[in-house]
Amino acid sequence: MKALVYRLAQALKQANYWLTAQVALLALRLLRLLPTDRALDFVDRAARRVGPWVGRHRVALDNLRKAFPEKTEDEIQTIASDMWGNMARLGAEYIFLDALFDYDDQNPDASSRIEVDGLDHFKRIAQEDRPHILFTAHLGNFELLPIAGAAYGMKVTALFRPPNNPYIADYILSTRRSSMGELLASRTGAAFALARILEANGTIGVLVDQKFRYGIRTQFFGRECETSPLLPKLARQYDCDVYPARCVRLPGNRFRLEIEEKVDLPRDAEGRVKVTATAQLLNDVVERWVREDPGQWMWFHKRWGLSKRERRRRKKPKANSEQP
Mean pLDDT of 219-229: 96
What pTM was estimated for this model as a whole?
Answer: 0.86
Taking CA atoms, 259 is separated from 46, 143, 159, 241, in Å, by: 32, 14, 18, 13
Taking CA atoms, 196 is separated from 149, 262, 294, in Å, by: 20, 22, 36
- Count Cβ neighbours within 10 Å for each residue of 171-202 and write b for 16 or more, e otherwise: bbbebbeeebbbbbebeeeeeeebbebbeeeb
Nearest by Cα to 181 from 206, 204, 207, 156: 156
CA-angle at 101, arms to 33 and 142, nearest 5°:
100
In terms of pLDDT, which residue wins out, 69 or 104? 69
Within 10 Å of residue 170's Cβ, how many Cβ atoms?
13
Residue partners of 154: CB distance under 8 A and separation at least 6: 122, 125, 126, 181, 203
Residue 176 has pLDDT above 70, yes or no: no
Q: Provide φ and ψ at 22, rounded to 5°.
A: -65, -40
CB 31 within 8 A of CB 91: no
CA distance 242 to 159: 15
CB 81 within 8 A of CB 48: yes
Reported as a single tens digit per residue, the pLDDT across 46-68 is 999 999 999 999 999 999 999 99
Reported as a single tens digit per residue, the pLDDT across 77-99 is 999 999 999 999 998 998 888 78
CB 285 within 8 A of CB 245: no
Per-residue pLDDT at 177: 57
Reported as a single tens digit per residue, the pLDDT across 139-159 is 999 988 888 887 777 888 888
Per-residue pLDDT at 101: 84
Q: Provide φ and ψ at 306, rounded to 5°.
A: -105, 140
Of 23-27, 256-260, 310-314, the range with the lowest mean pLDDT is: 310-314
How confident is residue 131, by pLDDT bands cut at 50, 70 and 90? Answer: very high
Reported as a single tens digit per residue, the pLDDT across 184-222 is 767 778 889 999 999 999 999 999 998 888 999 999 999
